[in-house]
Amino acid sequence: MGEIYKVPVGPIHIALEEPVYFKVNVHGETVENVDILSGFVHRGMEALVLRRNYLQNMIVTERTCSLCSNNHPFTYIMAVEKIAGVRIPERAEYLRVIADEVKRAASHLFNVSMLAHLVGFHSLMTQTMETREVLQDVKESIWGNRMDLGANTIGGVKYDLDKDQIKYLLGKLISLKKPVRELAAIYRDNRIVRARTEGVGVLTKEDALRLGVVGPTARGSGVDNDIRKAYPYAAYSKLDWDVVLEDGCDVRARALVRLKEVFQAIDLVEQCLSKLPEGPVALQGYPRIPAGEGVARTEAPRGELFFYVKSDGSSKPERMKWRVPTYLNWEALKVMMPGNKIADISVIFNSIDPCISCTER
Amino acid sequence: MAGFFKIAIRNFLNGPTTDPYPFGETFTPEKYKGIIAYDPELCIGCSTCEYVCPSGAIKVTEKDDGTGVRFVFWLNTCSFCGNCGYYCPTDAVYNSNDFHTARHQSEKFIPTIDDDISYVRCKRCEQKIKAPVEALLIRAYDEITEEVRHQTSLCPDCRRQEQFERM
């Protein structure tokens, strides 16, 4: 005893969903400290978008990441709309929220199912994925793709909902409530899931504030920093909802935040559908984008997403920069991991809902 | 464990949830963004689809012999985003809901769609112009009169000339 061993985890590792390399110093079975190396899925997207026009970039940004693929073009488009100085129709604001919340629910269910996979409860994982499949069908039927919805466009949205589709969407979401409630109870109370998640990967509220973590990672530590509430965009200020907070500070608290946000997302979509105003869904024609700068931020499923767009008046952006939630959250891993067992590394890593392909772009 | 046991028994009684495709029917939504379809009858050769396509799967070029416009689509480059269909002014390009993307090896290096539209001659000066498309005329004019038909069969220069002569 007393000796410290170095254990490499990743970049290609069976338990990690995405390529990132942890250099872990262990003392026996216990993690002493961890060093994170990244850069395995860098695609040069920030350079790529400079070679494409504003309309092409709506799709390029969407391909940054599949799980928060609605938020990337959404935020980008908001920034461009700020430069162009256009206001989108009211109906489009609601439709944007609907697309966003359906994606959020699907993303959160995916993350908790990965949690079940990592704690070795595979039947729970498949069942959660099966439940999520309802949302995939919804996305495929209303937007045409299972992941990349292509819902937003500069000056509005690309889709509209008629009576039948509203009925279909509502029916599917209501049918989702019972199975998700059933699954949430298992995540909350099951002995095995609790043993693997309770008290694991603790991030205290002080640390969460110090490190500036965002999204469900912060809300699991009791930090209220939901952009949808703090700086409302689209139709969020017109809806009635509260930020989900948990004070467990551990992996379980983060999973519970996500599960509660699934219900919240369903509720928000229901509210949007009942309040949906009549009118056009997009502006006529394509707005001129003058020289200027714009920033926008939204609450992606993983946390705050920030976009900076600089235009020189041509058809292509001069500079684009985006900061994704995982960039802030993975610093917290260095606080969460020490003191836990080697087997918990992947569980803790999953609890920040990492998106390496977003972060490295 | 009791919680999950209930679900497991229910799953057992309900049977498989997957579709028996390809041996049975599967669910393909009407709005599904599948392989691009192209209708040269409606195309005006405006290149909007090429401009908005993020992956460069569509190329609209002048034909080598100068008799028309060539529309080329490469399936393997397409990302099924639906931008072309959304921005197409005449709905000549759209996503069909065909999801069968497998192709023979022999078709690997030939475009999936290779079609062209021919120019017509201006009635006055015989210059080559793009033929007017019915779908666009219906959108542009309340009523398509003989006058509209005549005007659209002329090249822009002749149209201007004729308007001046009338004044």
Mean pLDDT of A146-153: 87
How many interface pairs between A and B have CB atoms less than 8 angstroms apart?
Answer: 74
**Cα–Cα nearest to A74, from A307, A338, A349, A323:** A307
Residue A6 sits in the same domain as residue A139: no
Which of A9, A27, A42 terminates a domain? The answer is: A42
Instruction: State whether A31 and A135 are in the same domain.
Output: no
Residues of chain B falling short of pLDDT 50: none
Say yes or no: B87 contacts chain A, CB-CB below 8 A: yes
Per the listing, tokens 């001046």 go with B164
Q: Is the dihedral of CA A100, A280, B83, B95 positive or negative?
A: positive
- What percent of chain A is predicted at pLDDT more than 90? 20
Mutation target vs B (from A53, A55, A180; most B CBs, 10 A cutoff): A55
A161 Cα to chain B: minimum distance (Å): 12
Q: Is the pLDDT of residue A1 over 80?
A: no
Q: Which residues of chain A are within 8 Å of residue B87 when distances are taken between CB atoms?
A: 55
The reply to whether A8 and A105 lie within a common domain is no
Q: Which residue, among B159, B161, B152, has the nearest Cα to B131 in the 3D structure?
A: B152
The domain total for chain A is 2
Whether residue A88 is contained in a domain is answered as yes
Query: Are the CB atoms for A217 and A352 separated by under 8 Å?
Result: yes
Q: Which two tokens stand for residue A87?
A: 């206001």
Residues A29 and A71 in one domain: no
Q: Please write the tens of the pLDDT for every residue from A345-356.
A: 888 888 888 888
Same domain? For A57 and A33 the reply is: no
Alpha-carbon distance of A52 to A312, in angstroms, equals 14
CATH match of B30-118 with 2.30.30.110:
no
CATH number of residue A94's parent domain: 1.10.645.10
| Contact between A321 and A46 (Cβ < 8 Å) | yes
- Compute φ and ψ for A54, nearest 5 degrees: -60, -35
List all residues of chain A from 158 to 197 with a beta carbon under 8 Å from chain B.
158, 182, 185-186, 189-192
* Per-residue model confidence (pLDDT) at position A10: 76
The pLDDT value recorded for residue A296 is 92
Task: Please report the pLDDT score of residue B27 as a whole number.
Answer: 80
Assess whether pLDDT exceeds 70 at residue A14: no
Give B37's DSSP letter.
E
Cα dihedral angle (A38, A40, A46, A52), rounded to 10 degrees?
-170
Bridge-based pairing of strands A30-37 and A152-153 is unpaired
What's the gap in Å between the CA of B3 and the closest CA on chain A? 6
> What is residue B143's predicted lDDT score, i.e. its pLDDT?
83
- Residues A81, A2 within the same domain: no
Instruction: Please report, for chain B, the start and end positions of each structural domain, with discontinuous segments joined by +.
Output: 30-118, 120-167
- Chain B touched by A144 (CB under 8 Å): yes
Q: Is A62 on the interface with B (CB under 8 A)?
A: yes
Q: Can you point out the beta strands (E) in chain A?
A: 4-9, 21-27, 30-37, 152-153, 156-157, 291-300, 303-312, 317-323
Both A155 and A242 in one domain: the answer is yes
Shared-domain flag, residues A145 and A161: yes
A7: tokens are 């254990």
Decide if B52 and A158 are in contact by the 8 Å CB cutoff: no
Q: Per-residue pLDDT for A211 more than 70? A: yes
The C-alpha of B6 sits at a distance from chain A's nearest C-alpha, in angstroms, of 10
Q: What is the DSSP string of A326-354?
A: HHHHGGGHHHHSTTSBGGGHHHHHHHT--
Q: Is the pLDDT of residue A132 over 80?
A: yes
Would you say residue A15 has pLDDT above 70? no
- Is A4 domain-assigned? yes
CB-based contact B74:B84 (threshold 8 Å):
no
Q: Do residues B137 and B144 lie in contact, with contact meaning Cβ atoms separated by under 8 Å?
A: yes
Hey, are the CB atoms on A62 and B81 less than 8 Å from each other? yes
> Cα–Cα distance between A216 and A229 in angstroms, integer?
14
List pLDDT tens digits, range A81-113: 999 888 889 999 999 999 999 999 999 999 999
Same domain for A239 and A299, yes or no, is: yes
Same domain, A112 and A173: yes
- The amino acid that residue A52 corresponds to is R
Q: Say yes or no for a CB contact (<8 Å) between A182 and B3.
A: yes
Distance CA A62, CA A69 (A): 5
Ranges assigned E (strand) in A73-172: 152-153, 156-157
Residue A359 lies in a domain: no
Domain extent, residue A82, equals: 45-351
| A208 falls within a domain | yes
pLDDT bin (cut points 50, 70, 90) of residue A122 is confident
pLDDT (average), residues A316-338: 88
**pLDDT score of A349:** 86
User: If we measure between CA atoms, which residue out of A345, A324, A358 comes closest to residue A34?
Assistant: A345
In a domain? residue A222: yes
Residue B81 contacts A, CB cutoff 8 Å:
yes
What is the C-alpha to C-alpha distance for residues A222 and A228, in angstroms, rounded to an integer? 16
Q: Over range A55-62, report the average pLDDT.
A: 90
> Both A205 and A323 in a single domain?
yes
Task: Round the average pLDDT of chain A to a whole number and report it.
Answer: 88
CB contacts of B8 in chain A (<8 Å) are 123
Task: Annotate A59-90 with b (16+ C-beta within 10 A) or e (fewer).
Answer: bbbbbbbebbbbbbbbbbbbbbbbbbeeebbb
| Assigned token pair, B118 | 């021919």
A45 Cβ under 8 Å from any chain B Cβ: no
CA distance A284 to A8: 55
| Pair (A6, A146) in one structural domain | no
A186 → closest Cβ in B3, B11, B29 = B3
- Residues A155-205 pLDDT 10s: 889 888 888 889 999 999 999 988 898 889 888 888 888 888 888 888 888
pLDDT at residue A29, rounded to an integer: 86
